[in-house]
Every structure is written in structure tokens, then in C-alpha cells.
Amino acid sequence: MGAGEGMNGQALYRRWRSQNFDEIIAQEHVTRTLQNALRAGRIAHAYLFTGPRGTGKTSTARILAKAVNCLAEPAERPCNRCARCQAVNEGRDLDLIEIDAASNRGIDEIRDLRDKVAFVPNEGRYKVYVVDEVHMLTTEAFNALLKTLEEPPAHVIFVLATTEPQRIPATILSRCQRFDFRRIPLADLSRKLERISQAEGIRIEPAALEAIARRAGGSFRDAESLLDQLAASGDAEITLERVRELLGGVSAQAVGDLVDAWIAADLAQGLRLINRLIDGGSDARQVHQELIEYLRGLLLLRAGGDERLVNTTPEVLARMRSQLAGLSLGRLVEGLKLFSQGEVAARGDVRPQLPLELAFAQAVLAASGREE
């Protein structure tokens, strides 16, 4: 069993791919509009799906491809039971042509498309061309595509998907109906991961699950492949520490020590800890982000917020509570502000740990300045 493959030898991401519009999460503004158009029989010849990776663009394209050729009543499309739906689900539908523009920049495929687009569909009502990463097409391929889009045959539907709509020529954009997919909110991502884990019999700490969702940054595909990788390791239970190890993360222990140094206004100790982490192979920006996340947790606890909002283990929670005893709200807010400003400054910095060191020094200085 290779890395990234679940127990059935097929990636979780593929096995849990959405099969109908209702399963596409957090994109109701897209799926509702498409469903209404399908029911009304108002099908466009070209769609542009834009948005970050892993947000459901190609899954929605495949569902749309099923729906337009589905044999069930319009309100039930796609039914996932008829011969046409099943052919798509099994990846053997000849009327769904998927082109990955990133693989060879689409030259051969688009030329082939231009030659074959006039032929009627094999079995369905429509031929659906899904061009993924369409911004990668060469100018030549874009021109060929444009020719087809200018006079699309009645039986053809194009779905162009891209993470970078600004790289699509205006002549193409103007011929497409555009839908913008949004990043999946953390809560939705966590919920889906939880459902998958339960169904797959994967035991995972809630804090570990949320850490995966957080790291995936709104992408289902990234979240599911991380879960897959962790599940394949064969551990009885996936723990937060295990996730941190895999992600090259920083232990809550180390971040807690750093916070102790800040509370004690011990600049020398703080800088020592930071450099020990960096020398040990940790990524400076990640240390910085983990520190901010930790302080945010302290703020939530301080404000009497729900402990579950603080994504960590009971041991770390206990430590945070004792740290709060020596920390005023004013200092906490100030620290959080300085560290987050420093984090923004860190983007693209040549010496990655400097913004963290600087923010640490400022936070210590701010505290001692007030005492003087």
C-alpha cells in the first residue's frame, strides 16, 4: 500500500468525491444556480469555474456532466443510477472528455478537440469537455479553443476550471458563464473529515482532525490526502503530536516554553528558544504562526470562551490556564497584536526568523516599558 492510498488501495479523495450537487459543500451559490438552470433547461455552452484548489470545481464539473445526460426526471438529475450516470462514475463515459491543461499545455488535446467537436455525442445528449487548469494552455491552444467557443455546436458544453482566472484571455472570459468557488470554511472541512474518519474506521483525536483541516487551508483535496497519509501509517490512533510530526510542526511544549519566556519578559531565553527551534529544523514562519495560534487560544480562554474552540490537548489546556494567572488581558492583547504584525512582515523576508525575534523583543520591551 503506497503512501496516500487508503485501505482499499484507492485514495480517500477519490472514494469520497462528491457524486451530486448536495454533496458539494460550501458552494451553494454555485450549485443552486446550476440546479435551477438545469431544471429550467437553460444550459450554457461554456462555464468558467474559478477558485482555490480542492474546493470542488472539477467535482462540480463532473456532476454537471452527469446531470445534462442523465436519463431521470429533470428534478432528480443526476440520479447516479441510470446507465449514463454510472458510466461517468466509473470513468468510462465517452461523452465526458477531461483535459488537464497542465500536463502538456493542451496543444494535442485542443487540436484533437477542434477536429472532433463537431461529431455528435456517442450516447448522451451532450458532449462535455472539462478543461482543468485552463490558464496553462498555450496561446495557440487558447486560440483554437476560442474558435470553438465562438460557434459552439449545440451538443457541446465546455467547463473550464482554473485557480488563476486573471490568466485567462478576455476573449475567452466573455464567452463563459462564470462561477467563483470559495475556500471551504474550517468548520465544514472538519465536519467532512470527521464523517470520513468515522465511516473509514480511522481513529483520530478531535484536535488532530482540526489541525489537519487548518493546515489544508480550505482545500478538501489537501485535507483528505493528509488524512490518508496519516491513516496509512498504521498507528492505532492519529494524535495531534503525530500530525505535528508529519507537518513538520512545532510541539505545543516548545511554543508553551516560548510563551513562558515572554510572560517572564526574558528576552535572552526567548531568543535562545527561537534559535533552538530553527536550528532543529523548524520553519520560522510556522513557529511564528503556532505562537500566534497559542496566544489566540489564551485570549479565548481568558474571555471565558469554550475550551473546544482552543484546538489542543487537555495537558496543554491546563498549562495555558496556569499561564493566564500571570498575564493581564492588556498584555495578552498587546502580545497578540505585535506577533501578528510581525507575522505579516515575515512574508518574503530574507532572514525568516528575524520578524519573530523582533516581535518577541518588542513584546518584552512593551511589557517592561509599562513597568518602568
Q: Which residues bind Zn ion (CB under 5 A)?
A: 70, 72, 78-79, 82, 85
Tally the residues of the chain. 372
User: Residue 85 CB, nearest distance to Zn ion (Å)?
Assistant: 3
159 vs 167: CA distance, rounded Å: 16
Instruction: At 156, give phi and psi (nearest 5°).
Output: -115, 135
Q: What string of DSSP letters covers 282-350? A: --HHHHHHHHHHHHHHHHHHHTT--GGGS-S-HHHHHHHHHHHHT--HHHHHHHHHHHHHHHHHHTT-S
327, 328, 331, 336: CA torsion to nearest 10: 70
Minimum CB separation of residue 77 from Zn ion in Å reads 6
| CB neighbourhood size of 33 (10 A) | 12
Q: In this structure, are residues 326 and 370 in contact, taking their beta carbons and an 8 Å threshold?
A: no
Cβ at position 254, least distance to Zn ion in Å: 54
Q: Which is nearer to Zn ion, 72 or 300 (CB)?
A: 72
SS3 at position 153 = coil
Q: How far is the CB of 60 from Zn ion (least distance, A)?
A: 16
Q: How many CB atoms lie within 10 A of CB 78?
A: 25
186-200 and 220-231 helices, crossing angle to 10°: 40
Q: Which is nearer to Zn ion, 88 or 134 (CB)?
A: 88
Nearer to Zn ion among residue 6 and residue 78 (C-beta): 78
Please, what is the minimum distance in Å from the beta carbon of residue 90 to Zn ion? Answer: 13
* Residue closer to Zn ion, measured from CB, 86 or 341: 86
Q: Coil, helix or strand for 204?
A: strand
Q: By C-beta, is 122 or 368 nearer to Zn ion? A: 122
Q: Min. distance of Cβ 71 from Zn ion in angstroms?
A: 5
Question: CB-wise, 78 or 121, nearer to Zn ion?
Answer: 78
* Nearest CB to Zn ion, comparing residues 20 and 162: 20
* Min dist. Cβ of residue 70 to Zn ion (A): 3
Sign of the Cα pseudo-torsion (364, 369, 371, 372, in order): positive
Task: Name residue, grid cell 510530526.
Answer: 245
